[in-house]
């Protein structure tokens, strides 16, 4: 997905104006704003205007159709109420303004999370809930699992996007892929690539030989 940008200027009350100590974690939130117009764009505009002079800020806001970036990845934000979390993690807010499309919003956030893990070479264990840092019940709907997405389901989506980025076989086909490689039907690379007609014929013949 495209990432739209509206980077918060220096000098506003919501901008700590200092770099992260290091990029070690991705922290997941939900906005807690269920008003229908509380979209990613609205939150981006709100942050751009200084978050109502509150010391509250985060890097990305994601809804069912858009991702907005408000701070550069290497800039500190105030989103977890904990110095360690604020100085070492990138904050992603998922909009809960549209319950019927919350699964899609989480899917978009999972895709963004996978891209960031890849970019900064972080393991999936370093994706944390806001709750991990301060005990706050956030991301509330995911923690409760009552809007169609559980925490383990969210992490599973992140994993599957990482597999896609790393060009690994999908979960649904992993066993078949490994069997095909073992039987010599296909080389163990580029599982998500496409085939030419001659490669398809060669595979069929090789499969026939391998199985007979």
- Site for Zn ion, rule CB under 5 A: 29, 130, 138
Q: Which is nearer to Zn ion, 58 or 161 (CB)?
A: 58
Q: Which is nearer to Zn ion, 88 or 160 (CB)?
A: 88
Q: Which is nearer to Zn ion, 43 or 160 (CB)?
A: 43
Report in angstroms how near the CB of residue 131 gets to Zn ion at its nearest: 8
Q: Which is nearer to Zn ion, 73 or 137 (CB)?
A: 137
Report in angstroms how near the CB of residue 138 gets to Zn ion at its nearest: 3
3-state helix, strand, coil in the chain (%, to 5): 45, 10, 45
CA 85 to CA 179: how far, in whole Å?
Answer: 43
CA 126 to CA 26: how far, in whole Å?
Answer: 6
Q: Which is nearer to Zn ion, 32 or 191 (CB)?
A: 32
Report in angstroms how near the CB of residue 59 gets to Zn ion at its nearest: 13
Q: How far is CA 8 from the centre of its chain?
A: 21
Report in angstroms how near the CB of residue 187 gets to Zn ion at its nearest: 45
Q: Which of these, 190, 113, 193, 116, lies nearest to 158 by C-alpha position?
A: 113
Report in angstroms how near the CB of residue 157 gets to Zn ion at its nearest: 19
Q: Which of these, 114, 143, 116, 144, lies nearest to 131 by C-alpha position?
A: 143
Compute the C-alpha angle 32/152/42, nearest 5°: 25
- Sheet with 60-62, edge to edge strand ranges: 3-5, 67-69, 60-62, 89-94, 25-30, 127-129
């Amino acid at each position: 997905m495209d990432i739209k940008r509206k980077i918060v200027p220096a000098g506003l009350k919501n901008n700590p104006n200092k770099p992260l100590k290091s990029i070690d974690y991705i922290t997941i939130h939900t906005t807690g704003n269920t008003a229908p117009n509380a979209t990613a764009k609205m939150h981006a505009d709100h942050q751009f205007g200084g978050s109502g002079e509150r010391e509250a800020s985060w890097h990305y806001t994601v809804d069912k159709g858009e991702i907005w970036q408000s701070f550069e990845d290497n800039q500190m934000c105030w989103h977890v109420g904990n110095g360690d979390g604020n100085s070492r993690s990138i904050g992603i807010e998922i909009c809960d303004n549209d319950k019927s499309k919350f699964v899609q919003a989480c899917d978009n956030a999972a895709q963004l999370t996978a891209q960031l893990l890849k970019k900064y070479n972080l393991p999936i264990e370093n994706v944390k809930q806001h709750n991990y840092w301060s005990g706050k019940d956030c991301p509330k709907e995911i923690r409760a699992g009552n809007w169609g997405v559980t925490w383990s389901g969210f992490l599973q989506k992140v994993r599957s996007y990482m597999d896609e980025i790393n060009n690994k076989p999908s979960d649904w086909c992993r066993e078949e892929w490994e069997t095909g490689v073992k039987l010599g039907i296909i080389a163990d690379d580029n599982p998500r690539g496409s085939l030419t007609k001659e490669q398809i014929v060669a595979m069929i013949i090789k499969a026939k030989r391998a199985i007979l």
